[in-house]
Structure 1
Amino acid sequence: MRRQGERPGGPTMSSMTELRSKAEHTEAIRRDRRIAVVINTRSRRGRRHYFEVLDQIHALGFEPLAEFPVVNPKRLRAHLDRALETKPDLLVVGGGDGTLSSAVRHVAHRDVALGVLPLGTTNNFARSLGLPLDLAGAIRVFDTGKVADIDLGMAEDRPFANLASFGVSVEVAGTVKPWLKRVLGRPAYPLTALTILPGHKPFKAILTVDGKRHELLTDQLNIANGRFHGGWQVARDISIDNGMLVAYQLGSGKKLRLLGETLVRATTGRWRSLAGGPFVMGREMLLETEPPMAADVDGEVRLRTPIRLRVVPNGLRVMVPSEFEDS
């Protein structure tokens, strides 16, 4: 058995909870079928597919302990708490990355696996886990997949699964129109960025990693735990299970270059490699900016720089395809 601290916001991180081995946990899900389901029906595909999801889950022989359609996003956390009160082995959550980031904070460090249904626009977290993006494929993973422990990012005391970002993306997140996301999907974000960039001022970022200080001028800085941003892969060799955070900038303070990069990203989803940079990797990072800036942590704007970020190896238990490489 392995021990881990309870989630922030619940018992303190110093308190301990007992976790089954991953093999034992996988076997329990397949044998006992103890699951609870929470689906955000306000997500891009949630309302349209809610009953289809439940039908497919039942068809696989699961009889959920509880089923919660989330009509009011403000009630999401309450529904997650009620679902966890049924003591499932697998908590199935359907929605976009914002919905799943809330679920991550509830499940982190607990002896329950998170089952992911990708019902959003970009589905970065599902992509980082190597999950099928079609509903039938994602649901089959609950029956044929395995339990894995993946890394959890921490921005101060806030857990995050995928990304903390600073700069123009914070404005984009608050500006992009819901109807545009429904119509265009992933391209809605870079296209909205193109309308904001001409009036955006670059900022100075000071990143301290392993005692080394990195200074840069940029319009956008991202610190990633996952592999995807905006639905496109950041780099071939980023992993959500390598015990490292990766910081990278978009643009170098030069508007024309950043506009060009954004257009390429919107149209091609260009792959890059960590070996090709510019990337900074580390287990812990201190970020300072001039001027101080808001941080978008997995879709929530709650923190401001300076901010300390770190990775918690094996901080989150998830259900993944059997071929997922779990270190």
Structure 2
Amino acid sequence: MAQSSKFVHLIINGKSAQIPEVREAVAALREKGHALDVRVTWEGGDGMRMVREAADQGVSRIVAGGGDGTVSEVVAGLMAVEAARRPTLGILPLGSANDFAHGVGLPLEPQPALELALSGGGHAVDVARLGDDCFINMATGGFGAEITTSTPVALKRLLGGGAYSLMGMLKAWRYQPYQGVLSWPEGELTTPLFLLAIGNGRQAGGGQCLAPAAKLDDGLLDVLVVRHFSSLHDMRQLLSEIERLPEDGEFVRTIRTSRLSFRSDARFPLNLDGEPRHLEHFEVSLEPRAIMLAMPDTSELLNASPRP
């Protein structure tokens, strides 16, 4: 592990700042000699502002304390700073799902997580851009984005085999597929969409691995397209394909690309690292190896070696 940075800011979600285990972890790391200043967010935009202030002060490492949304806001703040001045990012997972932390292999207990965030070696990782937004883990769209916003267990039922429950839900909601056109440098696809997942990381929706081959430092997006289905028989075929993730199945298609665009005649629900959007068209691109992330050297999401 690398030596502790001299100047470190912990930017923590206000909902988590009073958790006893977090306060104990901060005290313990300070006792070990870490110079750790705590900044608490109160409302949207605070995280980005605090990142900018930290960079202006020459802070060498920032720790994002919170869930996937907090991490995403801090990443957006880092991306708004010129590359040469971006602090290394550490993560203290404090959300309900912590999909990104799980995928990376970060500790989930506050003290070991904070220790790694402060002292772990930095790895250069990609960051995805969608218009003015950034995300480091995953964007999910379509019916999946709607249910992960309100009822995460429904997505688990889809991918875990609760077919009858999901079919009943679709009928009750009078579900209609989202017509869309996907374009990428190597191809184009027009299809009625049930679920779209665009991964830099691997999992979303509280533990669903939607992009098992994704790496954070390969310069590629791992895209999962699930086409509309209309019967229980179709769903059984879909679930079978989800297990195999074919390049081009009857209902499931996987794409690896550096850039993806989407257009539709209707507003398409999209969830960026836990933050909801509704867009008729968008383009996602990657900025390769854009930030340094403190993470285990053995993480399955890495191809490359850490920077010295």
TM-score (norm 1): 0.73
Q: Report the alpha carbon displacement of residue 213 of structure 1 after superposing the two structures with TM.
A: 1.4
Give 1:150's aligned residue: 125
Give 2:215's aligned residue: 239
Q: Residue 216 of structure 2: SS of its match in structure 1? A: coil
Q: Report the alpha carbon displacement of residue 135 of structure 1 after superposing the two structures with TM.
A: 2.3
Give 1:301's aligned residue: 276
Q: In structure 1, how many angstroms separate the alpha carbons of the residues matched to 2:32 and 2:235?
A: 47
| 1:23-45 Cα distance to aligned partner (Å, 9 max, x none) | xxx85xx25532111111325x9
TM-score (norm 2): 0.77
Kept after mapping to 1: 8 A contact 2:265/2:280: no
Change (3 A) 1:321 1:114: same
Give 2:63's aligned residue: 92
Moved more, 51-60 or 219-228: 51-60
Kept after mapping to 2: 8 A contact 1:34/1:63: yes
- Sequence identity (%): 22
Change (3 A) 1:245 1:97: same
Kept after mapping to 2: 8 A contact 1:118/1:135: yes
Q: Residue 312 of structure 1: SS of its match in structure 2? A: strand
Q: Residue 125 of structure 1: SS of its match in structure 2? A: helix
| 1:116-162 Cα distance to aligned partner (Å, 9 max, x none) | 01111221221232212222332231355211110111113422111
* Alignment match of 1:125 (pick from 81, 85, 100): 100
Q: In structure 1, how many angstroms separate the alpha carbons of the residues matched to 2:181 and 2:74?
A: 31
Give 1:67's aligned residue: 38
Q: Residue 50 of structure 1: SS of its match in structure 2? A: helix
* Alignment match of 1:166 (pick from 126, 138, 141): 141
Q: Report the alpha carbon displacement of residue 83 of structure 1 after superposing the two structures with TM.
A: 3.9
Q: Report the alpha carbon displacement of residue 173 of structure 1 after superposing the two structures with TM.
A: 4.7
Does residue 102 of structure 1 match 2:73?
Answer: yes
| 1:251-283 Cα distance to aligned partner (Å, 9 max, x none) | 533364787799x8xxxxx86557686211111
Q: In structure 1, how many angstroms separate the alpha carbons of the residues matched to 2:180 and 2:278?
A: 16
Kept after mapping to 2: 8 A contact 1:236/1:273: no
CA RMSD of aligned residues (A): 3.4
Give 2:15's aligned residue: 42
Unaligned runs of 5+ in 1: 1-25, 177-185, 265-269
Q: In structure 1, how many angstroms separate the alpha carbons of the residues matched to 2:27 and 2:270?
A: 39
Q: Residue 127 of structure 1: SS of its match in structure 2? A: helix
Kept after mapping to 2: 8 A contact 1:91/1:113: yes
Pairing 1:133-144 to 2, within 5 Å after superposition: 133-142=108-117, 144=119
Does residue 197 of structure 1 match 2:173?
Answer: no
Q: Report the alpha carbon displacement of residue 302 of structure 1 after superposing the two structures with TM.
A: 4.2
Unaligned runs of 5+ in 2: 159-164
Kept after mapping to 1: 8 A contact 2:8/2:62: yes
Q: Report the alpha carbon displacement of residue 293 of structure 1 after superposing the two structures with TM.
A: 1.8
Change (3 A) 1:76 1:145: closer
Q: In structure 2, how many angstroms separate the alpha carbons of the residues matched to 1:117 and 1:272?
A: 33
Change (3 A) 1:155 1:274: farther
Kept after mapping to 1: 8 A contact 2:268/2:279: yes
Q: Report the alpha carbon displacement of residue 223 of structure 1 after superposing the two structures with TM.
A: 1.2
Change (3 A) 1:286 1:254: same
Q: Residue 137 of structure 1: SS of its match in structure 2? A: helix
Kept after mapping to 2: 8 A contact 1:163/1:222: yes
Does residue 281 of structure 1 match 2:253?
Answer: no
Kept after mapping to 2: 8 A contact 1:235/1:274: no
Letter in 2 for 1:129: V
